[in-house]
Amino acid sequence: MTEELELLRRNVRSFLEREVVPRLEGWERNGIPREALRELVGLGYLFPEAEGVTERSEEAAWWAVVAEELGRAGAGSLAAMVESHISAVWLLAAAGETVERARYLAGERLLTWPWDAGPVRLEEQDSRRYVEGLAGTVVASADEALVAVTTEAGKRLVLVPLEDPALRLLPVPGVGLAAASLRRLECAGAGFREPELPGCGDVGGHLREGLARRRLWLAWLLVGLGDWCLRQAFAYVAARQQFGRAVMQFQALQHRLADVAVGLLAARQMANLAVKKWGTTEDLLAGTLALVVAGQAAFLAADEAVQFHGGYGYMLEYPVQRTWRDVRQLTLLVGGPVGLAREAGQQLYSSPRFCLAPLGEE
Amino acid sequence: MVDGSALRAEVRQFVAAEIVPHLPRWEDAGEIPRSLFRELGKRGWLGVGFPTEWGGVGGTWLDTLVVAEELARCEAGGVALAVGVQVAMVGPTLLAFGTPAQKHRYLRGVLRGELIGALAITEPEAGSDVAAIRTTARRVEAGWVLNGTKMFITNGCRADFVIVVARTGQASGYQGLSLFIVDRETPGFAVGKKLAKVGMRSSDTAELVFTDCLVPAESLLGQEGQGFYHIMWELQGERLFGGAMAAASALWILERLWEHARACSRANVEPWLGRLAESFAAALACRELVYDTTRRILRQEYPVTEVSAIKLLAGRVQWQAAELALEFMSAHGCPAAWAERMWRDSRLTRIGGGTDEIMRNIIFRQLREAVGAHRAAAGVSR
């Protein structure tokens, strides 16, 4: 890791420990205030370009550090909100948006890019233009949702204001990410505005890239969350006494802790590969596979952490159950373990060669 | 300097042309021919990663991994295992602990493929528990006298020499173990029996018996009483190499499946694609961990946790891929010899070279130490 990235890691970690970790439990009960999200976004840590990093390999490593640290702090809900904003900002930037860019980077205007939006189309009636078919999970405290719409000329990006009366923001009956103000967005004829993009070309390529970026970022978040769970579990089994000794001394637990650690090691490697592949034709496949592995490893870590806490793991008083739920919810947001693996398999199937080459062949 | 890309292409071509066609015969015979060792040696592939001073061709462990990965694509785990013992167990142990005379006499022959070596650690009553070794080496005026039995020794049936772990001191447990080089013709050394295995059949496996087996003093390999530590060092390379082979084997299996899948209609393979991707991702992650860990070793680090994790992961991903292959090929009406062979062969990875359970023990101990060190550094008392 470069000196710059190490400094970034130290800074982000220090900020999260100081400003975020003490507030997590309160947020879990009352939701994360918009101001907290704006404050974090405004710090500039989230955007490598704001710090002058423009090389592709460097920006991916930057995202990895930030996402992992958010996970290591156990801040799943905050991370989900952050991710939705920065993915939207990245996508707009990739498409050439510059007019409002500074406001997005400063957190003055918050965006959300739905994780699971289906195809959306533009309609026009009585000279009024609106979006139809929009449905997806968004961060309700954002100002606008970034939506890709299908037109005859290809994919275009539009911004849908979340306060539009034609939108319905329904509660998400999810198991986790309770503090992230996630809502199921549905609309019947909502208005929109078009960001100022140079040219009116198809943004399909940017969308694909944006998805690869999103998956890389979330894979690192899950690696971090898994690491948080492992540390929580370790601390608990070292302190908890049963049968006259620390429960850590029982081999039945030791081997399972080892399995959790190994799963996370593997996930970290796969997420690293996604960083290395960023900006290549294989970045989406690598990002998807990284998310598959990270999702499995993080959930194993979270589930075992709950189990190792025994009855206390089931109590809201202990934060381990929060991350357990957050990890599951995160994996569901991006398609679920089965759906994501199937999608990766479809990408593999469609690939002209059996790819992601070995040593010396990259 | 080794050109990894050219090396990969050459070994791959050789494996396809000179190994795969002969597999049915070698599997039946229960061994690979000596000529294969000689041919691999002649081409320099047994000496990749070894210094030229002792007959190697130079390069680093990263180059050695290229050979390992390509040999692992040969459709039979036994071939890779037999060669792996030579390259990753016997060779490195001789290089690290041998005297110049021992290196001259044995290492050169090993790297040329003219000598076949074996490493004898396990005993009938000492499997995972290396400290329970009972084979003894008693010092006498003419050297050392070995007595004991070794079990599950790869290449043991026709090895020209065997590196034997024996107890030389009165101390029990990990103390008082030493290594010896025993020539095949030494009186008192015998192959007890050739063991019949469920898989890995093109590699021979033996029980070896030492009965008042007198070896000269210069047969001692490494420091007297340090055998356990020498073996623990050796096991790191063995596990890394074996893990690289297993991960590559998994990827090769999945590549074969991918080819079969591409030949089928999308509808027919759709239900399998998720599992294929999951196996692929797991195998890739393992391969990346192999590369990353090897680079750390080249930087003079000693990443025991990662090496043990590789061993554990690699056994799992290889098995997962072999399971998928067996089921996929059967379900599509084309049961294949390679699939059933890899299913049998890959099961050994989770047992040999340290079982999965031993790997978990090691990983947990390392984790505990790391957490302890972290707390100490942070000034937190336990």
Q: What is the DSSP string of B51-104?
A: -GGGT--B--HHHHHHHHHHHTTSS-HHHHHHHHIIIIIIHHHHHHH--HHHII
Which tokens hold the place of A256?
């399972």
The question of whether B238 is a catalytic residue gets the answer: yes
How distant is the Cα of B306 from the closest Cα of chain A, in angstroms? Answer: 8
Q: Which residues of A touch B62 (CB under 8 A)?
A: 359
- Asked if A259 is an interface residue toward chain B (Cβ–Cβ < 8 A), one would say yes
Query: What confidence tier does B381 reach under pLDDT thresholds 50, 70, 90?
Result: very low
In a 10 Å sphere around its CB, with 0-12 CB exposed, 13-18 middle and 19+ buried, how is residue A199 labelled? Answer: exposed
Contact B285 A358 (CB under 8 A): no
Nearest to B69 among A261, A262, A358 (CB): A358
Secondary structure (H, E, C), chain A: CCHHHHHHHHHHHHHHHHHHHHHHHHHHHHCCCHHHHHHHHHCCCCCHHHHCCCCHHHHHHHHHHHHHHHHHCCCHHHHHHHHHHHHHHHHHHHCCCCCCHHHHHHCCCCEECCCCCCCCEEEEECCEEEEEEEEEEEECCCCEEEEEEEECCEEEEEEEECCCCCEEEEECCCCCCHHHCEEEEEEEEECCECCCCCCCCCCHHHHHHHHHHHHHHHHHHHHHHHHHHHHHHHHHHHHCEECCEEHHHCHHHHHHHHHHHHHHHHHHHHHHHHHHHCCCCCHHHHHHHHHHHHHHHHHHHHHHHHHHCHHHHHCCCCCHHHHHHHHHHHHHHCCHHHHHHHHHHHHHHHCCCCCCCCCCCC
Residue type present at position B308: S
Chain-centroid distance, C-alpha A111: 14
**What is the bridge-based pairing of β-strands B177-183 and B161-167?**
antiparallel
How distant is the Cα of B360 from the closest Cα of chain A, in angstroms? Answer: 5
Which tokens hold the place of A265?
């090691």
Helices (H), B120-226: none
Contact B282 A348 (CB under 8 A): no
Query: What confidence tier does B380 reach under pLDDT thresholds 50, 70, 90?
Result: very low
CB atoms within 10 A of CB A73: 21
Contacts of B220 (CB under 8 A, 6+ apart): B144, B178, B179, B180
User: Above 90 in pLDDT, residue B371?
Assistant: no
Q: Which residues of B touch A237 (CB under 8 A)?
A: none
B206 DSSP β-pair partners: B153, B194
Tens of pLDDT, residue by residue, chain A (362 residues): 689 999 999 999 999 999 999 999 999 999 999 999 999 998 888 888 877 887 888 999 999 999 999 999 999 999 999 999 999 999 999 999 999 999 999 999 999 999 998 888 888 888 888 888 889 999 999 999 999 998 888 899 999 999 998 899 999 888 999 999 999 998 878 889 989 888 767 899 999 999 999 999 999 999 999 999 999 999 999 999 999 999 999 999 999 999 999 999 999 999 999 999 999 989 999 999 999 999 999 999 999 999 999 999 999 999 999 999 999 999 999 999 999 999 999 999 998 887 776 666 65
Q: Which residues of B touch A346 (CB under 8 A)?
A: 273
Contact B276 A345 (CB under 8 A): yes
Contact A354 B259 (CB under 8 A): yes
Query: What confidence tier does B376 reach under pLDDT thresholds 50, 70, 90?
Result: low
Contact B275 A345 (CB under 8 A): yes
Instruction: Give residue for tokens 């990739």.
Output: A94
Contacts of A309 (CB under 8 A, 6+ apart): A233, A236, A318, A320
Contact A266 B8 (CB under 8 A): no
Q: How far apart are CA B181 and CA B172, in angstroms?
A: 22
Q: How far apart are CA A74 and CA A20, in angstroms?
A: 10
Nearest to B269 among A255, A267, A349 (CB): A349
Contact A261 B305 (CB under 8 A): yes
Contact B312 A262 (CB under 8 A): yes
Instruction: Give residue for tokens 């142990």.
Output: B93
In a 10 Å sphere around its CB, with 0-12 CB exposed, 13-18 middle and 19+ buried, how is residue A2 labelled? Answer: exposed
Mutate one of B364, B374, B380 to test the A interface: name it (highest A CB count within 10 A).
Answer: B364
Kindly report, residue by residue over B45-101, the tens digit of the pLDDT. 999 999 999 999 999 999 999 999 999 999 999 999 999 999 999 999 999 999 999
pLDDT score, position A359? 65
Which tokens hold the place of A293?
């592995």
pTM comes to 0.93
- Asked if A246 is an interface residue toward chain B (Cβ–Cβ < 8 A), one would say no
Contact A254 B259 (CB under 8 A): no
Nearest alpha-carbon partner for A86 in A148, A12, A78, A277 = A78
Nearest to B360 among A254, A273, A360 (CB): A254
How distant is the Cα of A220 from the closest Cα of chain B, in angstroms? Answer: 14
User: Above 80 in pLDDT, residue B369?
Assistant: yes
Q: Which residues of A touch B280 (CB under 8 A)?
A: 289, 344, 348
- Asked if A243 is an interface residue toward chain B (Cβ–Cβ < 8 A), one would say no
Name the residue of chain A whose CA is nearest to B292's CA: A269
Residues 341-360 of A with CB under 8 A from B: 341-349, 354, 356, 358-360
Nearest alpha-carbon partner for A226 in A112, A68, A84, A66 = A68
Contact A262 B313 (CB under 8 A): yes
Kindly report, residue by residue over B278-321, the tens digit of the pLDDT. 999 999 999 999 999 999 999 999 999 999 999 999 999 999 99
Residues 283-322 of A with CB under 8 A from B: 288-290, 292-293, 296
Q: Are B147 and B163 in contact (CB under 8 A)?
A: no
Catalytic option among B234, B238, B306, B323: B238
What percentage of chain B reaches a pLDDT higher than 70? 97
Mutate one of B284, B310, B357, B359 to test the A interface: name it (highest A CB count within 10 A).
Answer: B284
Which tokens hold the place of A267?
């996930």
Phi, psi at B294, each rounded to 5°: -65, -40
CB pairs under 8 A between A and B: 130
